[in-house]
Chain A
């Protein structure tokens, strides 16, 4: 089955950029997502990218996709303390039986 890996922890200073990385194994993954989970809260969709794209920018968020290396990254510019959360990448393919397969999650800590 699909395997999605992320580093467990990232600490950055407020105002710096954060880069959260994700690798996946199934090259048929068509849609790739980033979700944010704040403590005690649900899953908030931050952004997504289709597999035929290399990059997507959405305000402070930039997603880069390297299909050859099966590598996805999320860059958060000007990181704020409110960005402290767990970030999950998730992948899916098309079809009725499509499901999201989540990465292990990266805990982002933003320090002053």
Chain B
């Protein structure tokens, strides 16, 4: 199936732990994003990679480190998890220079820090 897929779908972990979320797209897109949706449903961009190069890095604690091994994958590693990191994290992708309606979102990873 063509899509943006994220794993895991749910993640429950204790404060202080380190965890990773993975994202993969098979749409042939060259730009990938991480968005965070908080408990009030606000959606905010965190990072963007274009062809493995970091191009957007919003004000995010440096405990969050994205990595893009190739243009089809974008992972998010979070160190020393805090309660405030609990949120839904969405991965998205698009094709630069394509018709700009091409932002495709994954189904989200619900992270709960206890």
Contacts and interface: CB of A to CB of B under 8 A. Distances in A.
A92 B100 contact: yes
A25 B102 CA distance: 23
Nearest to A42: B107
Contacts, number: 56
A104 B40 CA distance: 9
Contacts of B35: 100, 102
A26 B73 CA distance: 31
A96 B101 CA distance: 14
Contact of B103 (A33, A37, A94, A97): A33
Interface string B24-66: 0000000101010000011111001010000110000000000
A100 B45 contact: yes
A26 to B, nearest CB: 14
Contacts of B101: 31, 33, 45, 48
B96 interface: yes
Interface in B79-112: 90, 92, 94, 96, 100-101, 103-108
20 contacts: A30-B100, A31-B100, A33-B101, A41-B108, A42-B107, A43-B43, A43-B105, A45-B101, A45-B103, A86-B41, A96-B55, A96-B96, A98-B96, A99-B33, A100-B33, A100-B45, A101-B45, A102-B35, A102-B43, A102-B44
